[in-house]
Amino acid sequence: MKPHRRCRRFGRIAVAGLLALLPVSARGRDKVTKGLRITSPAAGTVVRPGGVIAVAVASLPGVAPTFVGLLAQFPLQASACVSQPCFRFTVTVPTTINRAGLYSIGAIGTSGARGAGSVFASGSQALDVEPGAAITSLNVDFSSLVFQRAGESFPLTVRGGFANGTSMDITKSTEITYTSSDTKVATVTPYGLVTAVGTGCGQGGACVGVGVIYVSFGGKTVPVQISASALRVAHRH
């Protein structure tokens, strides 16, 4: 199965953060080569608040690390190993996590006595943290947006209330959808960034300049009214 499109676009984990896991003798090196890979879980695996997921790391052919560590993007918590080399870890999602979406994990390792040899890293892997209960309320920070010029953008912020009494920022959840009623008036990205395009002039010359961005999650939908009627339109002569 192909990874979610957001996972494919997910950036690499910061090498500086991974280097902090190394033995002191291995820090401060400039050259880090890819010699490890995360074999499980699959990219984009969904984890709920309070959940614990097992992570397996493997070395590439010809790589024999003596130390392997795992880093998880805050606030996810990666376990340490009591013996080395270690290729199995766990990642814990705090019950209090307040933002849904993709979080990165990555592995790094060294070879040689006391980690004094080469430094190896894996590519980053995305875990998808999503709410753990049914949604009961869906709230968008603005009910309407007014644009003054084409190309102007505004990010929406969306919060959800859930049946277990928790609330969460779900703006960048992989389970949320944003839809524009008229892409000639405004477009919206999968992360809720709304951009004015034009007044939506029709073939008859009517320029309504209004549209709606629909925000949907878990069967609930909230409309955000868009006004672009004040946009200046360049007329051809």
Quote the pLDDT of residue 33. Answer: 81
Backbone angles phi, psi at 135, to 5 degrees: -80, 140
Are residues 140 and 222 in contact, defined by beta-carbon separation less than 8 angstroms? yes
**Rounded mean pLDDT, 18-46:** 71
Q: What is the pLDDT at residue 113?
A: 57
DSSP 16: H
Res 53 pLDDT > 60: yes
Domains 5-129 and 135-227 share a fold: yes
Over 80: is that where the pLDDT of 133 sits? Answer: yes
41 versus 118: the higher-pLDDT residue is 41
Give yes or no for residue 20 having a pLDDT over 70. no
Whole-Å CA distances, 235 to 9, 151, 193, 205: 38, 17, 28, 12
Residue 66 near residue 85, CB atoms below 8 Å: yes
pLDDT in tens, 154-181: 999 999 999 999 999 999 999 999 999 9
| H or E segment to which residue 101 belongs | strand 101-110
* Helices marked H in the chain: 5-8, 15-19
Average pLDDT score over residue span 201-209:
54
* Distance of alpha carbon 167 from alpha carbon 51, whole angstroms: 17
pLDDT at 21 over 90: no
Q: Are 56 and 40 in contact (CB under 8 A)?
A: yes
| pTM for this prediction | 0.80
- Per domain, the residue ranges of the chain are 5-129, 135-227
| More confident position, 140 or 148 | 140
Cα 64 to its chain centre, rounded Å, is: 32
- What is the reported pLDDT for 120? 87
Q: Which residues contact 146 (CB under 8 A, 6 or more apart)?
A: 227, 230
pLDDT of residue 179: 98
Q: Tell how strand 210-217 and strand 177-180 pair up.
A: antiparallel
Superfamily of domain 5-129: Immunoglobulins (2.60.40.10)
Q: Spell out a b/e string for 30-44, using b for 16 or more CB atoms within 10 Å of the CB, else e.
A: eebeebbbbeebebb
Dihedral, CA of residue 160, residue 155, residue 194 and residue 2, to nearest 10: -70
**Which of these CATH numbers, 3.30.360.10, 3.20.20.70, 3.40.50.920, 2.60.40.1080, describes 135-227?**
2.60.40.1080
3-state SS class at 24 = helix
The residue with greater pLDDT, 138 or 8, is 138
Mean pLDDT of 71-96: 88
Report the distance separating Cα 211 and Cα 113, nearest Å. Answer: 64
- Mean pLDDT is lowest, of 124-133, 154-163, 228-237, for 228-237
Position 150 scores a pLDDT of 87
Report the residue count for the chain: 237
Please check the confidence at residue 4 and state whether its pLDDT lies above 70.
no
Report phi then psi at 84, rounded to 5: -130, 150
* pLDDT on residue 13: 40
| 42 or 34, which is more confident | 42
Confidence of residue 93 (pLDDT cuts 50, 70, 90): very high
Q: Which two tokens stand for residue 220?
A: 């609930």
pLDDT at 27 over 50: no
Confidence (pLDDT) at 25: 46
Mean pLDDT is lowest, of 62-66, 129-133, 150-154, 161-165, for: 62-66
Confidence of residue 201 (pLDDT cuts 50, 70, 90): low
Amino acid (one-letter) located at 196: A
